[in-house]
Amino acid sequence: MVNIVPIQKDETLIINMSKLYCMVHEGKDFDEMVERITRHIDYENFKGIVAISDENEIIGFVYGYESLEGQYYNHLLREALSSKQVDRWLHDCFEFVELAVHSDYRKKGVGTALHNNLLDGICNKTSVLTTQVSNNHARSLYEKLEWSNIMEPFHPSKDDVPYVIMGKDLSTV
């Protein structure tokens, strides 16, 4: 059985989330992830969910927040998208920031449960996310959960691999 609980601003929890993230996304910087999660928890309308196993270990997590002008990633999205896309997707938007599931728990509904719990009760009209173009597992999950491809490729920085920007209309959820 998996317990789904809200993310709290707790140092041990953030450290364990960061460890899982770095295990799932090999090569990511642990200290950078700790700093990022700690910073994001204070963002406007932050919401996060953690999946905990019966052995009391974090096996997955998801979080996001309201996407607002002035935020780093919102700025990158605004630069990449057309003005029509910005109006459609970034006005009244919840940014779906991270989803990570331990490899032993994939294909068992944990990612879908985290996704659905995160978006449940969100009052924004839309949600956006990005994932690497080559991340077929994530893209398959998001497409199954009715996310649409908004733009591909998207390069968050000049040295980054290509990403895809995906969107979900929350007014019909």
In this prediction, residue 172 carries a pLDDT of 75
CA distances, 129 to each of 55, 63, 65, 68 (Å): 31, 11, 11, 14
CA distances, 56 to each of 11, 53, 98, 107 (Å): 16, 5, 21, 20
Strand-by-strand arrangement of the 93-101 sheet = 3-6, 47-52, 58-67, 93-101, 126-132, 163-169, 148-154
Amino acid at 74: N
- pLDDT averaged over 10-residue windows placed end to end, the chain, 173 residues: 87 94 89 95 96 92 97 95 97 96 92 96 97 93 96 87 96 75
**153 preceded by cis ω (within 30°)?**
yes
In this prediction, residue 173 carries a pLDDT of 62
In this prediction, residue 142 carries a pLDDT of 97
Question: Beta partners for 1?
Answer: none
Domain assignments of the chain as residue spans, ordered by start: 3-172
CA distances, 60 to each of 16, 20, 24, 124, 161 (Å): 10, 8, 10, 24, 24
Question: Rounded to whole angstroms, how far apart are CA atoms 32 and 4?
Answer: 25
Amino acid at 170: L
Q: Is the pTM of this model over 0.85?
A: yes
For domain 3-172, the CATH class is: alpha beta
